Structure formats: structure tokens, C-alpha cells
Amino acid sequence: MRHSRNRFASTLAVLFAASVAGDCFAQQGVGLPLQAAQRNAQLAQATAPQAANWPQSGYPAPWPIANSTGQPGTSTIQQGMRPRNSAAGAQAAHVSVENMLATQYQLEYGGGAPAYIGADDQVSAVQNAGLAERVQQMEAQMQYLQTTLAAERGRAQGVSYAADSQPVEYFEAAEQPLAEQPAAKPEDPLGMSGKWNNGLEFSSKNKDFKIHVGGRSQIDAVFFEDSPEGFAGAGGIGDQDSVNLRRGRLRVDGTMYKYYDFACEYDLVNEVNDNVGLQPPGELAGNIMAVPVPTDFWVTARELPWVGNFRIGNFKPPVGFEHLTSSRYLDFMERSFNQEAFYGPFDNGFAPGVMVYDTYAEERGTWALGGFKSTTNPFAYGVGDGEYNATGRVTFLPFYDEASKGRYLLHLGMGGQNRDTNDERIRFRSRGSLRNGSPGPLNPVFADTGTFFADSQNLISPEVAVVMGPWLFQAEYTGSWVADALGNTAPNVGVPQGSVYMQGYYVEALCFLTGEHREYERKSGNFGRVIPHQNASITRDACGNCNSAPGAWQVGVRYSQLDLTDKAIDGGKIHDVTVGLNWFINPNMKYQWNYVYMHRDAPGALPEGDVHGAGMRLAFDF
């Protein structure tokens, strides 16, 4: 206790001296002499050894400094607490610390009264007032510290201290330990806080839990030139114009317990003909009904040994660069013919299954391998013995500019799939690069093999992409071999054809007119969200002047071809040119304008024809 008291008293003296000296130094530029500060600092330091020897039952006397008037005297803290003891009565009077300090000063500096701040110096009234205010603040701090020290002594010795001069009896609280301050309530590591992260996102402080609530909406307007030959036998609503919702999805995804990711997403814009085979689809026929379907519906375990990540549920099989790029980030309103014919002809590109995947070479490459149920419906289910497929993809970045975060890169990839046919049947078909009906039976089909018998399918899909600043060049080829096929065209219906080969490809080039570049996601080996340098806006200031920002502007062109004809399988051939203009308002919203010219070599005896069309889309996601 005595050692603690010594340290406490010494600390008080040194801190007070430093404070007074600091005030003097701060004001010496306006006339306060440095000598006064030095004298008071020396005086306060001189009290430290004696303060350490104050009696345990006593209390520290005031510092001999100027009071609020700037003259020597008794400050407010000189009205200190006087000790009382209910058992022994008043203790012997203590030696006045004030006298002790004065004696100490005379021993060290000779006779006479000690010098005080402002006692002999010419300091203005304004300066003295400022110093007095500082001194009063320090006195209040000293009073609090003295009270704390006295209470500690009282608890140890049974002595009660009062802040006034009237005697008080020993209070019972002195027999009790000092009340401890309540401990600060620890933060709840599972407490969630929200923010905008290209969508509404909540996360715990330790990031072990995270949830995002969002969705996407795409509204299209499509206009076709009248073309009886181009639309001959294509079905749907032909060359009629339309306004429709292309996609409308709601999504919840996130992380739980640090290592488990999840996603639950439904597409509310999906239509079917409830009288298939009995009535052709039509707007006025009343046979088109909306049926929500699951898209991403999975759980992933991350950071596993050897395999990295394990996913189970309904999701995209890992094949096709364009297929795996989210519909939120498409360069054109629709993907190429490859998506329709090979990657997602009837299941929207999603299938139930399991997959392991990871990155390698410090995220210069990715790999993925999965097993899936072969399905021909968008409802995430399949029925039948066997009928599975194995799908895989590997990518690599031979060049990636780290300094610019991918403004310059070269992407190479290869995907493949071995697939059992569903009920030993298969069909290849493709709609156009513009859709004049909501997803479902209203859209014309321009290339179609029809259903034919086959045992299995193998496909291969090499891919390449080059980003050179604002420029993007991308190409992808898909080849599909179907084993043990039986012909479905006269006169070879049911005749074995062995292996038949279908193929498709596209090449495209795009450029940002405003200088942005295509964002690349290294963990998945795909392109991601476009971030404009400036979000588009038009505002008026207080002076009536208009201010604007351009957003991001991008132009592009794509050539796509699909050939579904081999041996006795005749699905026709189509190829088109798409010219596009994209305006990114902000990272979550964009407009797209496409013009499409398509030439169609129709299957069978149908005539050849051309199709001209234009479309516009407003797309936003959150």
C-alpha cells in the first residue's frame, strides 16, 4: 500500500508540474515569461520526495501555486478532506504540507517567499484569465485524485474522509471493498450490421456469417422485320413485336459458420404451354402459364483439404465460358447459339449434382469437376436409371497484369462433358439472338434436329479471351459427338448412323468508349461486374446549371454460327451478326441495344431466309 501511495503521489506532482509548465510554454509567445513556468515546475518536482512520505492517515495538501486571481494563496483544493476516526477520536494534527513545501523551497532557493506564476511578471489580464481557467481545471482533477487516494487509505485503516470541515463518523461502507466498475459488455461476435455491396448485405463483425438479399430484373422490347421465309416453320409467335420480362429472379445467398456458403434463387419469369401437343402456344389461346423455377440452389463447403471446395445442389455444370458468365454481365442481350444447343437447351443451364473446384498457381488458374443428373426440364429433377453426366473445366492465365488488376490479360480454358442421354433420346435446338416472347414456348426456334435416339454425348469446348485495356476479344468453340445415333429423317428413320457431329462457335470484339475494362473474376475464371469510372447522372445545381456524368459506354460486334446437320440428322444451320451498344448507368443498372441480322438454312424442305431485328433491354440487379 505504501509503495502504491508513493508512486501515486509522485505521479501527481510530476503530472501537475508538466501541465503548468506546458501552459507557460504555450503562452510564452504572447508575453508569459518562461522563468515563471520553470520555477513552478521545479517547485512541484521538489514536493515529490516529501509527498511520498506523507502519513498514511493524512492527506496531500494543496500545491503552493497561484489561485484564480494569479496571486499566492489557498486554492479550492486546499479545502481538503480532514481525517476522522470513530474509535480513537481526532488524530494528532499533521504537519502542514504547505509549510513543508515552503520550507523545502527556502532550503533549496534561500529565504523569501516562493515565486508564483504571475506574481512578479507583467502578464495581461486576458492571459491570466486563460491560465486561471486551466488551473481551475487541474484543481478539479487533483480533487478527484485526492478523493480516490483518501478512500483507498480509509478502506485500509478504517478512516473516513469528508470533503468539508465538519467531523463525520466512521461510515460502514469503509468496511466494504470499493465497488468495482461494471465490466464493459463484450461485443456480440454474431451481431449483424448492414451495408450496400452491390446489393443489401448483412454480416457479423467476424465475417463468419453473411447474408445477401437481392435479385435481377430484365425488361425487353423486341422488333422484327416481316420475313415469312426467315420464320417459316419456326413456331412460336413468328415475327411479331413484343415487350416482355426476360428474367425476374429473387435471391438469398451468403455464408454461415465461416466455411459454408449457400444460395437460394428462383426465376419467376418462366412459362410453359399447358396443352403441349394439343394446342399451339399463343397470347390469346390462354394456354401459357407462368411457373417459377429454381436456378442456383446449393450449399458449398469451403477450404477443404485436397479438393478446396465442395458444392451440392442445383447449379451450372462447369462448361462453357459464356455459359458460366452470369446473365447479369452478358455482353449482348442473349448468349450465342452454343448456350441454346449444347449447355442449356431445356434446363436453363442448371442441373442437380455435386462438384469440387478450386484455384491453383496463386489464382492464375481454376479447375472444376462435377457429376450431375441428366435432365431435360428446368425444375431441378431427373428420373431414370443411370442418365448421369461428368463435366469439367480448367482455365489458365498465361498473362495477367497485376498492377492494373487485370486490365491486360490472356485467358485460356477447356471444358468437356460426357453425358448419358435422357431415356436414350436427345434433341438439339436453338432460338435466336433476340427473344420476342417470355422464356418458354412463345419464342421461335430457328434450328432444330427434333428428337432422335442415341446412347451418349461427348462435347469439348475450348475458349479464349484477351483483355487489352478497354478492348475485349473473346471466342469459344463447341463440338459434340453423339454415339449410336439413329436417323430421324426419311428415308433413314431408325437407321443406325453411328456417331454424328454437331458444332457451333462465336467470336466477338467489344470496346469501352469511356475507358473502363472488362472485370475478370480470378476465383471462378469468368468475367464479372462492370464498374463505371463515373456513374451516369444529370442534375441541376443551385444556380440552375446542369451537371452530368456519362456512366460507361461500350460497343461490340459478334458473329455466331451453329451447324446441326450430319448424316441423317438434319437440324439446319444458322449464323448471325449482332451489333451492340451498352450503357452502364452504374454498377447495378444498364441499357442494352442490339441489332441482329441472321441467315437461316432451314432444316428439311423449308426455304432459306433472312431475319432482321432490333431489341432494347433495361437490366438491373441488386
List, in sequence order, every residue forming a beta bridge with 192; answer none if it has no partner: 204
Which pLDDT band holds residue 134 (cuts at 50, 70, 90)? confident
Say which DSSP state 331 is in. S
What does the alpha-carbon distance between residue 409 and residue 398 come to, in Å, rounded to a whole number?
8
Query: Averaging pLDDT over each range in 86-90, 156-160, 415-419, which range is the top one?
Result: 415-419
Nearest to 357, CA basis, from 317, 404, 328: 317
* CA atoms 19, 23, 28, 31: torsion sign: negative
Query: Regarding predicted confidence, which is higher, 8 or 330?
Result: 330
Residue at grid coordinates 440552375: 544
The pLDDT value given to residue 94: 43
What does the alpha-carbon distance between residue 76 and residue 67 come to, in Å, rounded to a whole number?
Answer: 8
pLDDT of 236 reads: 86
Q: Which residue has the higher pLDDT, 99 or 551?
A: 551
- Nearest Cα to Cα of residue 463 among 347, 321, 566, 337: 321
The more confident residue out of 549 and 287 is 549
Of residues 262 and 546, the one with the higher pLDDT is 262
Sequence letter at residue 296? D
Q: Is 2.40.50.140 the CATH classification of the domain at 192-621?
A: no
The Cα-based distances of 45 to 9, 56, 230, 472 in angstroms read 11, 21, 102, 74
Q: What is the pLDDT of residue 270?
A: 84
Cα separation of 456 and 418, whole Å? 8
What pLDDT does 89 receive? Answer: 41
**What percent of the chain clears pLDDT 70, i.e. is strictly above it?**
71
Q: What are phi and psi of 599, to 5 degrees?
A: -110, 135
What's the pLDDT score for residue 55? 44
Can you tell me the distance from the alpha carbon of 286 to that of 274, in angstroms, rounded to the nearest whole number? 9
- Concatenated DSSP letters for 248-308? EEEEEEEEETTTEEEEEEEE---EEETTTTTS---TTTT-EEE--EEEEEEEEEEEETTTE
Whether the Cβ atoms of residue 535 and residue 585 lie closer than 8 Å to each other: yes
How far CA 138 is from CA of 42, 133, 143, 161, 237, in Å, comes to: 18, 9, 9, 21, 88
**pLDDT digits over 344-363, tens only?**
888 899 999 999 999 999 99
Question: Is the backbone peptide bond immediately before 491 cis, with ω within 30 degrees of 0?
Answer: yes
Q: Name the 3-class secondary structure at 411.
A: strand
Spatial separation of the C-alpha atoms in residues 447 and 438, rounded to whole Å: 19
| pLDDT confidence bin for 619, thresholds 50/70/90 | very high
- Characterize 440-477 residue by residue with b for buried, 16 or more Cβ atoms within 10 angstroms of its Cβ, and e for exposed: bbbbbbbbbbeebbbebbebebbbebbbeebebebbbe
The DSSP letter of residue 72 is B
What is the grid cell recorded at 583? 450503357
In the beta sheet, which residues pair with residue 421? none
Question: Which of the residue ranges 24-28, 236-240, 282-286, 449-453 would you say has the lowest mean pLDDT?
Answer: 24-28
Confirm whether pTM is higher than 0.75. Answer: no
DSSP 339: I
The pLDDT of residue 185 is above 90: no
Cis peptide before 114 (omega within 30 of 0): no
User: At residue 448, what is the residue type?
Assistant: D
Q: How confident is the model at residue 610 (pLDDT cuts 50, 70, 90)?
A: very high
Domain boundaries, the chain: 2-175, 192-621
d(CA 529, CA 518): 8
Closest CA to 341 of 271, 430, 469: 430
Answer yes or no: are the C-beta atoms of 329 and 383 closer than 8 Å: no
Helix (H), strand (E) counts: the chain: 6, 28
Among positive and negative, which fits the CA dihedral 561, 234, 321, 519? positive
Using alpha carbons, select from 249, 139, 258, 266 the residue that is nearest to residue 210: 258
CA gap 256, 277 in Å, rounded: 46
What's the pLDDT band for 433 if we cut at 50, 70, 90?
A: very high
* pLDDT grade for 147, boundaries at 50, 70 and 90: confident
Residues 467-504 have pLDDT tens digits of 999 999 999 999 999 999 999 988 999 999 999 999 99
pLDDT for position 144: 76
Q: pLDDT tens for residues 48-102?
A: 444 444 444 444 444 444 444 444 444 433 443 444 444 444 444 444 444 554 4
CA distance 404 to 399: 12
Place of cell 469528508: 162
* Cα–Cα dist 464/327, whole Å: 19
Q: What is the dihedral of CA 306, 309, 313, 316, to 10 degrees?
A: -110
E-strand spans in 65-209? Answer: 82-84, 160-162, 192-196, 200-204
Backbone angles phi, psi at 321, to 5 degrees: -60, -50
Cβ-in-10-Å burial (0-12, 13-18, 19+) of 349 comes to buried
The whole-chain average pLDDT of the chain stands at 80
